[in-house]
Structure 1
Amino acid sequence: MSWPIVKFSDLIRLSQNGFGARRGEGTPNVVLRLADIDSAAWTVSTTDLREINMSIKDRAKYYLDHDDLLVVRVNGSPLIAGRMVPYAGPKGFAFCDHFIRFQLVAQADSKFIAYQFKHRQVRSQVERGMVSTAGQHTVSQRTFEKITVELPPLSEQHRIVAAIETHFSCLDAAVASLTRAKANVKRARASVLKAAVEGRLVPTEAELARAEGRDYEPASELLARILVERKAAHEAAQDGAKRQKKYVEPVAPETEGLPELPEGWCWATPGQLGSGEHYDLAIGPFGSNLKVPDYRDAGVPLIFVRNVRAEQYTGMDDKFIGHQKADELIAHRVKGGDIVITKMGEPPGDASLYPRTALDGIITADVIKWTTARVLPAVYYVYATGSSLIKRQFVDVTQGVAQKKVSLERFRRIAYPIPPLAEQHHIVAEVERHFSVLDVLDTTLKTNLARCARLRQSILKRAFEGRLVPVGAVSIEEASSLPQGTLDLSYIQENNAL
């Protein structure tokens, strides 16, 4: 099926940027922001809306009507900038200058046009006209002047929209079900970690020892042994040193308000559980010590917040520094098996194990490095950091408004639940057994969500190739209402002859 191809500009009756004032005269009126509109789902929020005083003249100019098309004019994501939304929200709302509003001629169904702008063929035209500056991606009214769309007769547009929405409603239900399942997987992972740090995931070492009639080393004795070894490591490092550094006992945990631990467990802080080596707890260098001009295409990898995800190190070695610079930053060096934790985020506290096979790296400013005592399985402390018990403590010690951060000194004081050593290994094995099952399920759900996205594009492709609904007869009268010069009579006669 071949439909007339028209310039989108020929279909525009009105185009304008939104209301740009942040203060005004008049009475309060809702002015929609980017955060108020879901540009993917085409929904408008009705809560937490911003009101700005608007004059009667401005209201008349910026009030939204049903079937207006709102385009995201500027956004930090190139995937969101240029998205088109047919407005179906409450009447009486205005729109801010982060949007462009288009009103179309009567011969164009606004939803039909908006669906075309979701299709790759038209979306690619938008992306070619996009301007990117300082991390912001922008389209303008002029961006749309040269964009072309297909325009079947109006009755056929209506049928196509109805067919698309029938298919999409089925897809939406499938996506919602898959999304709920993914949320359940996430909750299941959290439940596993919660049980792990509460002594409910595996039989405790105290229970096993009683059942087997044997002794065991409780966590308190393990901690005492680590502290002795930690002090010895410090003193060994002082041998022959010109400047002797006094050993400072690590801070003990504040346990008031913390839950009761299982038999044989105890509380300990990251400082107490460190290896005792210089800089076993460290943060990245201040900005003046590591600048962008220091970056190289190869050398010693840098570790950024973006590399650290919950229980998973992404390994994006895309920034390096030279070996000489790395030697200057020895206090910030990370080795395989160290724990890396984000000290900035919403909230901070994502932790992962730096791969044992990875080259030594250097952490950047918003990453914490934690080298645990050698006897400890570091991965247990990665899992513990991901538990709700530790996350709550991170929230308690986080400061900042625009950027939430936790300092190294506050992190040193977080209380970790410590099981006996053998039990730590058992917990790690059981967490990984559960996670391996959940990972397979999560991968399957991601695959099916990706299939839904591809199927959505396939539906649009069929729709705009004229293969989604049967082609109906088109009248000469309907054709004559189309924009001047967009359609010739041969198209009408051919379709009426079918």
Structure 2
Amino acid sequence: MNAERLLTRYDRIADASNAIARLRRFVLDLAVRGKLVEQDPADEPASELLKRIAAEKARLVKAGEIRKTKAVPSLEPDGLPFPLPHGWAWTQIAEIGVISPRNEAPDDLEASFVPMPMIAAEYGEANGHEPRQWGEIKKGYIHFAEGDVGLAKITPCFENGKSTVFRNLIGGIGAGTTELHVVRPLFVDADYIVLFLKSPYFIQTGIPKMTGTAGQKRVPKEYFTTSPFPLPPLAEQRRIVAKVDELMALLDRLEAARTAREATRDRLTAASLARLTAPDTEPETFPNDARFAIATLPALTARADQIKPLRQAIINLAVRGKLVEQDPADEPASVLLDRAKKAKKALREERRIGRSEGPEYSESPGEASAPRHWSWSYLADFAMVLGGKRLPAGTSFSKEPTEHIYIRVTDMKGGTISDDGIKFISPEVQNKIAKYTIDQEDIYITIAGTIAEVGMVPALFHGQNLTENAAKIVFREVDRGFLILALRSNDVQSQFAEKTKQMAQPKLALKRILGARVPLPPLAEQHRIVAKVDALMTLCDRLETALAQADATRARLLEALLHEALAPAADLVAEAAA
């Protein structure tokens, strides 16, 4: 067994995203290859165990307790997947038990009913059951008894490893889902059979053999009954099961420790960032809070997914005036707001846009902490919000590319509009919805499905058609990048959430967008804020990439160590010599 290096390097791979799951599969793989416990020459060989099983089967057939079964095809030596230790033997499940056993019992006997959801994919988790009268479940369901082994044969249950030893059955018998293959073991440890059925070798080899249509694929009975089955001596089977139980319990503890560690890390990160971005942050304490957050960030940020709250914290700091210094020489925000209001009026007249429904006003929790020379304004004061248009009834997307694109919410990703999988409409459809377009100077905002995602419009989508599940924000004089930051901030997003939280199917009304309370710094400061945020987001990109690369490196190391641990010693010598 070559697992020592894996154990000594556990600390380097433990933080790989799927380390524990891979280690669980690794334990099962070692177990069925005879590499988990040492062999004992004093154990009765598996070949003798097979003789005893055959004799017991013959006795049961003679006694009329089971039916005589057809002989199964013998295993070809060239088709055996891996070498076995001395004392083991290759066999088949059909040879070591009774396939698809039947129960005979009075109809009024209370028994157990086991549907598929009560069969676990995880190793070591017991099956659940429901009490039923035997007469209710004896027909139309699969039979099993205490100690039988069941394998889920349908996708995705098979791929997920659903199999179990049926235990604690009421009356000692049960019936359940028809999507099971069942074996009643003879002189073989049922738990050893289950760990084989959950092993990566058995599942990965079985997936290509599944038959049926998509969503209804099943593992053939022949694969379950006649696949090569590695049989250890009975005493070793029990040692293997005990060792697997021990190692799985260890992995449970490691997983719990890692989960607790990550939860603590997440809480500390959230608390550190919250202190920076809280609406009531005092100017006197902010520098110390910022220094603490910066000093602890490397230790608290260990996963790529932890960068997202960091990005949000940067946005929240930006729109509260805590990211760049204020300059008294800047033109006051009040002057900017007056210009923006006039620009809105001019745009309305230029585009011949009628007046829409009045705003539904909100209040901002961050207003009190903003710099004094900023202006807080409702979006309706300087911008218009106009909705998109549903495709006319009876029309559909064009099968061929045209000059007219229909922008959907699914195209709006990461603050921009993706050109991957865009949909086109015909000139005839375009003529019917021509006024519901969005320009490159506008901002989009989603209003249904995904609520309040905002972003810029790339040049490709200038003048193109907008879905009814989104709207455009039309404005001038205000920095587009800053307004997007303001709309993404927690202060504004909380206003949108408050207006939609009671809806069964949330939809953000245009009047509620217009009524959003947003901060407006001087224009020069807006430009500085956007430049600073862009620089910090670039650093976040680099950190995110570095963390992803570190995780990928840990995953590759884990894979290499697992491969090495499973490789026969002779193979390792050959690799070293090559």
Q: Does 1:254 align with 2:362?
A: yes
Q: Does 1:420 align with 2:554?
A: no
Q: Give, in whole Å, the separation in 2 of the partners of 1:139 and 1:85.
A: 15
Counterpart of 1:152 in structure 2 is 230
| 1:351 CA drift (Å) | 2.3
| 1:196 CA drift (Å) | 1.6
Counterpart of 1:298 in structure 2 is 401
| 1:192 CA drift (Å) | 1.0
SS at match of 2:459: coil
Q: Does 1:231 align with 2:340?
A: no
Q: Does 1:409 align with 2:511?
A: yes
Q: Deviations over 1:134-183 (max 9, x none)?
A: xxx33346588589865333459949969997998999799987996234
SS at match of 1:268: strand
Identify unmatched segments of 5+ residues in structure 2.
1-80, 85-89, 102-109, 263-299, 572-578
User: Quick one: which of 329, 335, 339 aligns to 2:443?
Assistant: 339
* Residue correspondence of structure 1 range 296-335 to structure 2 within 5 A: 296-299=399-402, 300-335=404-439
User: Quick one: which of 191, 195, 198 aligns to 2:317?
Assistant: 195
SS at match of 2:332: coil
Amino acid of the structure 1 residue aligned with 2:205: V
Give the superposed CA RMSD. 5.3
Counterpart of 2:216 in structure 1 is 138
The structure that has the greater radius of gyration is 2
Counterpart of 1:487 in structure 2 is none
User: Quick one: which of 318, 326, 332 aligns to 1:217?
Assistant: 332
| 1:400 CA drift (Å) | 6.8
Contact 1:267 1:418 in 2 (8 A): yes
* Residue correspondence of structure 1 range 66-77 to structure 2 within 5 A: 71=152, 73=154
Greater shift in the superposed pair: 307-316 or 192-201: 307-316
Give me the TM-score of the superposition, normalised by structure 1.
0.64
Greater shift in the superposed pair: 419-428 or 317-326: 317-326
Greater shift in the superposed pair: 318-327 or 169-178: 169-178
Contact 2:145 2:169 in 1 (8 A): yes
Contact 2:304 2:545 in 1 (8 A): no
Q: Deviations over 1:67-101 (max 9, x none)?
A: 967759567xxxx8842245699979999979868
SS at match of 2:452: coil
Contact 1:308 1:341 in 2 (8 A): no
Contact 1:73 1:99 in 2 (8 A): yes
Counterpart of 2:308 in structure 1 is 186
| 1:442 CA drift (Å) | 1.5
The structure with more helix, counted as a fraction of residues: 2
* Residue correspondence of structure 1 range 257-406 to structure 2 within 5 A: 259-260=367-368, 261-274=370-383, 281-283=386-388, 285-286=389-390, 288-289=392-393, 291=395, 293-299=396-402, 300-345=404-449, 348-358=451-461, 360-366=463-469, 368-398=470-500, 403-406=505-508
Contact 2:343 2:476 in 1 (8 A): no
SS at match of 1:251: coil
Sequence identity of aligned pairs in percent? Answer: 19
SS at match of 1:331: coil
Residues 421 and 253 (structure 1), Cα distance of their counterparts in 2 relative to 1, 3 Å cut? farther
Give me the TM-score of the superposition, normalised by structure 2.
0.56
Counterpart of 1:2 in structure 2 is 82
Residues 109 and 297 (structure 1), Cα distance of their counterparts in 2 relative to 1, 3 Å cut? farther
Amino acid of the structure 2 residue aligned with 1:302: Y
Q: Give, in whole Å, the separation in 2 of the partners of 1:348 and 1:434.
A: 26
Contact 1:72 1:98 in 2 (8 A): no
Q: Does 1:467 align with 2:574?
A: no
Contact 2:302 2:547 in 1 (8 A): no
Counterpart of 1:114 in structure 2 is 198
Greater shift in the superposed pair: 441-450 or 220-229: 441-450
Q: Give, in whole Å, the separation in 1 of the partners of 2:537 and 2:227.
A: 48
Greater shift in the superposed pair: 383-392 or 63-72: 63-72
Amino acid of the structure 2 residue aligned with 1:131: T
Greater shift in the superposed pair: 89-98 or 375-384: 89-98
Contact 2:147 2:184 in 1 (8 A): no
Q: Deviations over 1:245-278 (max 9, x none)?
A: 755696374337664132122333444343x6xx
Amino acid of the structure 1 residue aligned with 2:567: R
Q: Deviations over 1:308-337 (max 9, x none)?
A: 234354432342223442343223323335
Q: Give, in whole Å, the separation in 1 of the partners of 2:500 and 2:145.
A: 42
- For this pair of structures, how many residues does the alignment match? 420
SS at match of 1:296: coil
Identify unmatched segments of 5+ residues in structure 1.
17-25, 46-50, 239-244, 472-498
Q: Deviations over 1:210-252 (max 9, x none)?
A: xxxx35221x3322221212112222344xxxxxx75569637
Greater shift in the superposed pair: 255-264 or 164-173: 164-173
| 1:197 CA drift (Å) | 2.0
SS at match of 1:410: helix
